[in-house]
């Protein structure tokens, strides 16, 4: 009898003693995570931030940040990065949406959806060096598709196309942008209730009416959010571009990399400013995406 | 369900074309090492390259270390968040999303700037750079590992399990490792395999922290610069590896099949 | 001529038949309920009237026009869904106006009609609210207004109250009925709740396993059920096995005690077993002898349910449930007490099915509710 009573007392988590002990144990469980996050994420990012507003002597200055919008080669790098990110974001969102729509709501057999989602998971991770190799084998000077086009008399390289330029890189980026869009928009498409379509129909709506008045407006925040996410994704990409162009294409990420190898900018603090710019753009894109997600969720309670 | 329309099949067909063509082209290229015939020469060359095994082994080691330490960091944290400190949850979730805001190139830049000089001087030594590498990889794995652990914990009644274990006299380490962990093992696997896929192919951190071709990513890049057919073979091998990893996740992970399986260096 | 007619409707999904031999004629302005357990085909039939499912065979006519092959957006039929299905990106006014907007009605007309309808459903002034800001009951009322806005020929409601709290259900169903009466719209109402069907309908169609069991007014369905299923699905029922003593005079016996039916038996012979159904409310505890049927038994259990006291009595091998109104001055029978049950000769129902079938049908219906 006595043992039962003691065991009960020990197990009660609401007793003040246990609570005190619990909290201190809890902090021990959680502190390593925060220490690690600070050491390996916050501090490095902060040090870049600090470095970006310093000059060579360590004094505070906003010159580096100003240089981002003034120095021509930096502006060019941003223009290129933003350009590729915009093109692959919009293009990726469009075709990715069509793919996801076809697989989920298009009346196709179930295996199409499963296959598309699984493949998207793989393709999203195939990015980087192997992807670059694959596209060289496809659209490089001796690539398969190039050869096929040659045989029917069209030589893309003669017409100015090159895999190692804006257009080629964009095409390559699509290989992970399409899948990312599919994975991100699939839940939103699932959320389109069948009853909405039926209610619209019974009120006299055609397919077009349904899309214009109901489905697209409902999907718009998700579509926008996903596009922005794709933008950030492309903007931060490094490995694919590096492996494909060997660093010859001056994207912001490539320039940062070059700066790390040697002082190509003639001003290390400028490199930090570039990194800061990246963080700002990425943070903005993630924030917008979350905000738009939350708005949709509120509607679709 | 509606009848399948022409347009649905069209988009899927276009998608299949776009995704399959590069794979076919790469496979085709990888089989043409010997003039005029299809052969596995390129693959043989890859598999007889000791660098291949060394770098792959090294990256695998790094991946395993990353997974282990990531779990060690995240599991107790997620557990305590679930159990006692729910108010911390948004903070932790935010922190685990930060790696998306800090792309690889920026992360490695920051790591080098912070830890290369005194008092750390980590970039000088082998051990130091490996430490930074694993640390960086753990950061990169945060979003996926945390999400899979969180999913696993949500499926289990953490509160009740803990109280039951406590009433039987278990201490905290016992609870964590012999009660909680086995129940989230399956969910953990999806995060683990995703992390593995990311680390194996990773280029950015490996290139700038290690230099040379110690890791698999830089090895791939080097082969790409020097050899003609081997890169294609390696690309096919990589693709097969990732298929295997994701395939296992699908098989084992009974959670939503569309958990965002994005990762990797772009 | 009926306003809405379903002729020989059949719906099969592959090898399985969801609805079979469905024939119904509905007069203009009638309120018809489809009542039955889950899976009985009532929703499938409703969806065929709406046009979301195509019948495998048969025809649907509205105002003598064959609409069987018409797509749903051309039928001028209104529908209210169980999950409300309000468009989340539109406010209340836009939702209600949706049908009119598609027809490009002038703005003034739309605005006026929206406020009329909002007044009709008792939610004036809520034009600018969004669905997520409304309660379940409010959303369903807006859904009703939206369906009525297009002035449909037929109004269809698919278990509209199932997702709502019990209290709201009762008040809202009365509102729906009064609006329907005011507008005189022909209405089909699908439900599995017999109380809803009984209290609202002009006629009820009781369905089971894709077939119509009985069509009738609530009074007819409840008091004169034609099959064991209907008898047990609607209201509670006692089903007793009795042996035939004399078919010509309608005499039976249960546990050796005599029982008389109101009519002679035509299909049975002496010694056959038949199923007799008794509603609990027709039974009373009786002291004096009279012309009523009387059965002696022993009280097995007494359950106090507030206004009602439910008494379970064992008569031979049969169990009879009956209800007494709670009355503080009356003495409630106790367990083990011998009692005599009395009920009028006319109120025992002979069920179409054999005794075993009847028992199974009762058990199945009990499980379904």
Q: Does A203 sit within 8 Å of C98, measured CB to CB?
A: yes
Residue of A29, A164, A171, A215 best to disrupt the B interface, most CBs of B under 10 A: A29
Question: By the 8 A CB rule, do B198 and B179 touch?
Answer: no
Q: Which residues pair with C254 in a beta bridge?
A: C257
Q: Does A10 sit within 8 Å of B167, measured CB to CB?
A: yes
Q: Assign residue B52 a region: left if phi > 0, alpha if psi is -120 to 50, beta otherwise?
A: alpha
The residue with greater pLDDT, B107 or B32, is B107
Residues of C in contact with A214 (CB under 8 A): 87, 89
Are C and A neighbours with ≥3 CB pairs closer than 8 A?
yes
Average pLDDT, chain C: 88
Q: Between A48, A184, A187, which is nearest B110 by CB?
A: A48
Q: Between C78, C101, C103, which is nearest A202 by CB?
A: C78
Q: Does C79 sit within 8 Å of A193, measured CB to CB?
A: no
Instruction: Write down the pLDDT at residue C150.
Output: 93
Q: Does A218 sit within 8 Å of C73, measured CB to CB?
A: no
Given a cut of 60, whether residue B1 has pLDDT beyond it is: no
**Among chain B residues, CA nearest to A178:** B15
**Among chain B residues, CA nearest to A147:** B25
C168-to-B126, C35, C86, C136, C172 alpha-carbon distances in Å: 72, 20, 19, 9, 6
Q: Does B107 sit within 8 Å of A41, measured CB to CB?
A: yes
Q: Between A22, A119, A135, which is nearest B22 by CB?
A: A135
- Determine the average pLDDT of the residues in B202-225: 88
Q: Does B97 sit within 8 Å of A130, measured CB to CB?
A: no
Between A and C, how many residue pairs show a Cβ–Cβ distance under 8 A? Answer: 72
Residues of B in contact with A269 (CB under 8 A): none
- Determine the average pLDDT of the residues in B212-233: 88
Instruction: Write down the pLDDT at residue C256.
Output: 81
Q: Which of A26-40, C16-30, C35-49, C77-91 is the least confident region?
A: A26-40
Confidence label for B193 from pLDDT (cuts 50, 70 and 90) = confident
Question: C36 and chain A: CB distance < 8 Å anywhere?
Answer: no
Question: C133 and chain A: CB distance < 8 Å anywhere?
Answer: no
- Determine the average pLDDT of the residues in C310-339: 86
Given a cut of 80, whether residue C356 has pLDDT beyond it is: no
Report which of C204, C72, C200 is spatially closest to residue C147, judged by C-alpha positions: C72
Confidence label for C81 from pLDDT (cuts 50, 70 and 90) = very high
Question: C167 and chain A: CB distance < 8 Å anywhere?
Answer: no
Q: Does A196 sit within 8 Å of C146, measured CB to CB?
A: no
Q: Which of B13-17, B125-129, C193-197 is the least confident region?
A: B125-129
Given a cut of 70, whether residue B259 has pLDDT beyond it is: no
Average pLDDT, chain B: 84
Q: Does B265 sit within 8 Å of A128, measured CB to CB?
A: yes
Q: Which of B16-25, B171-180, B238-247, C135-144 is the least confident region?
A: B171-180
The residue with greater pLDDT, B5 or C22, is C22
Residues of A in contact with C74 (CB under 8 A): 204
Residues of A in contact with C88 (CB under 8 A): 218, 299-300
Give tens-digit pLDDT for A219-271. 998 899 999 989 999 999 999 999 888 878 889 999 998 888 887 777 888 88
Q: What residues 211-240 of chain A have any CB closer than 8 A to a CB of chain C?
A: 213-214, 217-218
- Determine the average pLDDT of the residues in C96-101: 95
Query: What is the Cα–Cα distance from C70 to C52, expressed in whole angstroms?
Result: 10
Instruction: Write down the pLDDT at residue B253.
Output: 62
Given a cut of 90, whether residue B97 has pLDDT beyond it is: no
pLDDT more than 70, % of chain C = 93
pLDDT more than 90, % of chain C = 55
- Determine the average pLDDT of the residues in C252-257: 84
- Determine the average pLDDT of the residues in C203-230: 90
Given a cut of 70, whether residue B24 has pLDDT beyond it is: yes
Q: Which of B184-188, B260-264, C222-226 is the least confident region?
A: B260-264
**Among chain B residues, CA nearest to A180:** B262
Secondary structure (DSSP) of chain B: -PPPPHHHHHHHHHHHHHHHHHHHHHHHHHT-SSTTS--SHHHHHHHT-HHHHHHHHHHHHHHHHHHHHHHHHHHHHHHHHHHT-GGGHHHHHHHHHHHHHS-HHHHHHHHHHHHSSTTT-TTSSHHHHHHHHHHHHHHHHHHHHHHHHHHHHHTS-HHHHHHHHHHTT--HHHIIIIIIHHHHHHHHHHHHHHHHHHHHH--HHHHHHH-TT-SHHHHHHHHHHH-SSHHHHHHHHHHHHHHHHHHHHHHH--S-TTS----S--
Which residues are CB-contacts of B131 (< 8 A; sequence separation ≥ 6)? B122
- Determine the average pLDDT of the residues in C240-267: 82
Instruction: Write down the pLDDT at residue C126.
Output: 92
Instruction: Write down the pLDDT at residue A4.
Output: 43
Query: What is the Cα–Cα distance from C37 to C190, expressed in whole angstroms?
Result: 11
Instruction: Write down the pLDDT at residue C185.
Output: 94
Q: Does C130 sit within 8 Å of A204, measured CB to CB?
A: no
Instruction: Write down the pLDDT at residue A152.
Output: 86
Question: A193 and chain C: CB distance < 8 Å anywhere?
Answer: yes
Confidence label for C213 from pLDDT (cuts 50, 70 and 90) = very high
- Determine the average pLDDT of the residues in B239-244: 89
Give tens-digit pLDDT for C301-310. 998 888 888 8
Instruction: Write down the pLDDT at residue A246.
Output: 81
Q: Predicted ipTM? A: 0.84
Query: What is the Cα–Cα distance from A256 to C132, expressed in whole angstroms?
Result: 47
3-class state of residue C16 by DSSP: strand
Q: Does A11 sit within 8 Å of B167, measured CB to CB?
A: yes
Q: How far is C110 from chain A (nearest CA, A)?
A: 15
Query: What is the Cα–Cα distance from C136 to C158, expressed in whole angstroms?
Result: 15
Q: Does B163 sit within 8 Å of A128, measured CB to CB?
A: no
Give tens-digit pLDDT for A151-172. 888 777 777 778 888 889 999 9
Series of mean pLDDT values for 10-residue runs along chain A (301 residues): 43 48 66 91 91 83 83 89 95 95 89 90 87 90 85 79 87 94 90 92 94 93 91 92 86 89 81 90 89 80 61
- Determine the average pLDDT of the residues in B133-157: 88
Q: Does B266 sit within 8 Å of A173, measured CB to CB?
A: yes
- Determine the average pLDDT of the residues in C323-352: 81
Confidence label for C124 from pLDDT (cuts 50, 70 and 90) = very high
């Amino acid at each position: 009898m006595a043992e039962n009573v003691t065991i009960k007392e020990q197990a009660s988590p609401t007793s003040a003693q246990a609570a005190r002990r619990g909290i201190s144990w809890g902090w021990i469980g959680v502190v390593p995570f925060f220490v690690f996050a600070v050491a390996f994420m916050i501090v490095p990012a902060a040090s870049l931030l600090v470095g970006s507003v310093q000059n060579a002597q360590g004094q505070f200055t906003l010159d580096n940040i100003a240089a981002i919008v003034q120095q021509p080669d930096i502006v060019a790098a941003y223009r290129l990065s933003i350009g590729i990110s915009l093109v692959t974001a919009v293009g990726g969102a469009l075709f990715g949406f069509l793919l996801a729509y076809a697989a989920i709501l298009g009346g196709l057999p179930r295996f199409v959806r499963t296959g598309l989602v699984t493949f998207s998971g793989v393709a999203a991770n195939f990015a980087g060096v192997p992807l670059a190799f694959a596209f060289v084998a496809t659209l490089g000077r001796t690539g398969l598709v190039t050869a096929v086009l040659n045989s029917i008399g069209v030589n893309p390289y003669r017409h100015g196309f090159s895999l190692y330029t804006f257009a080629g890189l964009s095409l390559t980026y699509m290989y992970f942008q399409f899948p990312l869009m599919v994975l991100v928009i699939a839940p939103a498409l699932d959320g389109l209730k069948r009853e909405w379509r039926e209610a619209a129909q019974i009120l006299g709506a055609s397919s077009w009416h349904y899309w214009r008045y109901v489905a697209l407006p409902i999907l718009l925040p998700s579509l926008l959010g996903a596009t922005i996410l794709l933008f950030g994704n492309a903007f931060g990409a490094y490995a694919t571009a590096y492996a494909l162009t060997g660093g010859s294409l001056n994207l912001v990420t490539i320039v940062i990399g070059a700066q790390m190898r040697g002082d190509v900018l003639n001003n290390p603090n400028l490199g930090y400013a570039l990194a800061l710019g990246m963080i700002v753009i990425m943070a903005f894109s993630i924030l917008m995406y979350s905000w738009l997600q939350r708005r949709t969720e509120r509607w679709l309670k | 369900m509606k009848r399948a329309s022409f347009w649905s099949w069209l988009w899927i067909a276009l998608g299949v074309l776009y995704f399959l063509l590069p794979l076919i082209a790469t496979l085709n290229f990888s089989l043409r090492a010997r003039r005029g015939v299809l052969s596995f020469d390129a693959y043989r060359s890859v598999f007889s390259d000791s660098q291949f095994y060394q770098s792959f082994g090294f990256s695998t080691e790094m991946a395993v270390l990353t997974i282990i330490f990531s779990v060690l960091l995240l599991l107790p944290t997620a557990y305590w968040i679930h159990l006692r400190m729910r108010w911390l949850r948004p903070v932790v979730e935010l922190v685990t999303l930060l790696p998306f805001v800090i792309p690889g190139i920026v992360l490695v830049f920051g790591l080098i700037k912070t830890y290369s000089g005194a008092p750390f001087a980590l970039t000088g030594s082998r051990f130091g750079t490996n430490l930074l590498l694993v640390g960086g990889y753990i950061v990169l794995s945060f979003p996926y590992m945390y999400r899979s652990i969180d999913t696993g914990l949500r499926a289990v009644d953490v509160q009740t399990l803990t109280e039951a274990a406590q009433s039987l006299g278990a201490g905290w380490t016992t609870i964590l490792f012999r009660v909680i962990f086995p129940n989230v093992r399956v969910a953990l696997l999806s995060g683990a395999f995703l992390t593995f896929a990311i680390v194996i192919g990773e280029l950015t951190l490996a290139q700038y922290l290690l230099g040379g071709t110690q890791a698999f990513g830089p090895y791939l890049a080097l082969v790409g610069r020097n050899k003609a057919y081997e890169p294609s073979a390696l690309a096919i091998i990589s693709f097969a590896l990732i298929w295997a990893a994701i395939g296992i996740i699908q098989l084992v992970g009974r959670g939503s099949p569309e958990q965002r399986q994005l990762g990797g260096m772009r | 001529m009926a306003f809405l007619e379903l002729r020989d409707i059949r719906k099969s999904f592959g090898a399985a038949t969801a609805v079979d031999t469905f024939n119904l004629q509905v007069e203009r302005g009638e309120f018809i309920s489809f009542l039955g357990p889950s899976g009985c085909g009532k929703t499938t039939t409703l969806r065929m009237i709406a046009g979301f499912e195509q019948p495998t065979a048969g025809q649907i006519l509205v105002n003598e026009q064959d609409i069987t092959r018409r797509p749903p957006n051309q039928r001028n039929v209104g529908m209210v869904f169980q999950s409300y299905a309000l468009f989340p990106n539109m406010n209340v006014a836009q939702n209600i106006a949706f049908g009119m907007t598609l027809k490009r009605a002038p703005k003034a007309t739309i605005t006026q009609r929206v406020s009329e309808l909002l007044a009709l459903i008792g939610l004036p002034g809520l034009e600018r609210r969004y669905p997520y800001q409304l309660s379940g009951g409010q959303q369903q009322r807006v859904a009703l207004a939206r369906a009525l806005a297009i002035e449909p020929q037929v109004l269809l409601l698919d278990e509209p109250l199932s997702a709502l709290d019990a209290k709201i259900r009762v008040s809202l169903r009365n509102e729906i009925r009064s609006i329907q009466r005011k507008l005189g719209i022909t209405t089909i109402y699908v439900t599995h709740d017999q109380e809803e069907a009984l209290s609202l309908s002009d006629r009820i169609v009781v369905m089971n396993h894709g077939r119509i069991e009985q069509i009738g007014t609530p009074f007819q369905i409840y008091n004169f059920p034609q099959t064991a299923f209907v008898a047990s699905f609607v209201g509670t029922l006692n089903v007793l096995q009795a042996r035939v003593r004399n078919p010509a005079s309608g005499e039976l016996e249960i546990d050796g005690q005599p029982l008389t039916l109101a009519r002679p038996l035509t299909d049975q012979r002496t010694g056959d077993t038949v199923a007799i159904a008794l509603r609990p409310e027709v039974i009373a505890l009786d002291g004096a002898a009279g012309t009523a049927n009387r059965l002696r038994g022993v009280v097995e259990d007494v359950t106090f349910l507030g206004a009602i006291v439910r008494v379970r009595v064992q008569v031979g091998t049969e169990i009879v449930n009956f209800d007494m109104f709670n009355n503080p001055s009356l003495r409630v029978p106790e367990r083990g007490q011998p009692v005599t049950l009395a009920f009028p000769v006319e109120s025992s129902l002979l069920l179409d099915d054999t005794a075993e079938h009847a028992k199974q049908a009762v058990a199945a219906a009990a499980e379904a509710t």
